[in-house]
Amino acid sequence: VEFQFDSFTAVWEHRRYAGNNAENHNIGCYFYGTAGTLHLGWRDGWTFYPANKNQPVYHEDPVLHEPDSQNIPELWADFIEAIETKRRPVCDIEIGHRSTTMSLLGMLSLKLGRSVEWDGEKERVVGDDEANTLLRRDYRDPWQYPEVS
């Protein structure tokens, strides 16, 4: 899926059963850029591989808690501190919403078999009623979709 922005293009690719061993990691997410490659691992932290092979590779180990290997205590502590100091938390809901929107738009485009143009302010697909009807599911009675004005 290709996302075209005013100042750059982002390409998302998902592979299954076809690992990437170029950077010695078979599992995780890769972000490729002009300065290098960032790998976000599953249980092995993150690693940055500079495009310039004369520069050092940077790695940071994860901070994980058993039994589920999640960082929930740190996230809750940050959330409480964010409330107390009136700042955004590390896992800000608006950032999460914007990030999730990109994935959902990619799936929407694939389902429709065509490109879509997104209006981020209105949170609607521009000039495409069919796409807009697929942005949410109908609720079962007595539940209702909340209308926000």
pLDDT in tens, 79-135: 999 999 999 999 899 988 988 998 899 999 999 999 999 999 999 999 999 999 999
Q: What percent of the chain has pLDDT over 70?
A: 91
pLDDT of residue 64: 74
User: What number of CA atoms fall less than 13 Å from residue 52's CA on the CB side?
Assistant: 4
Confidence of residue 41 (pLDDT cuts 50, 70, 90): confident
Evaluate whether 76 touches 97 at the Cβ level (below 8 Å). no
pTM: 0.63
As a whole number of angstroms, the distance between CA 41 and CA 75 comes to 19
Residue 63 has pLDDT above 90, yes or no: no
pLDDT at 59: 93
What 56-61 contacts at long range (C-beta under 8 Å, 24+ apart), as own/partner pairs, is: none
| Per-domain boundaries in the chain | 1-62, 63-149
The answer to whether 25 and 44 have CB atoms below 8 angstroms apart is: yes
Q: How far apart are CA 7 and CA 125, in angstroms?
A: 20
Q: Is 131 exposed, middle or buried (0-12, 13-18, 19+ CB in 10 A)?
A: buried
Inter-residue long-range contacts of 110-114, CB under 8 Å, 24+ positions, other chains counted: 110/1
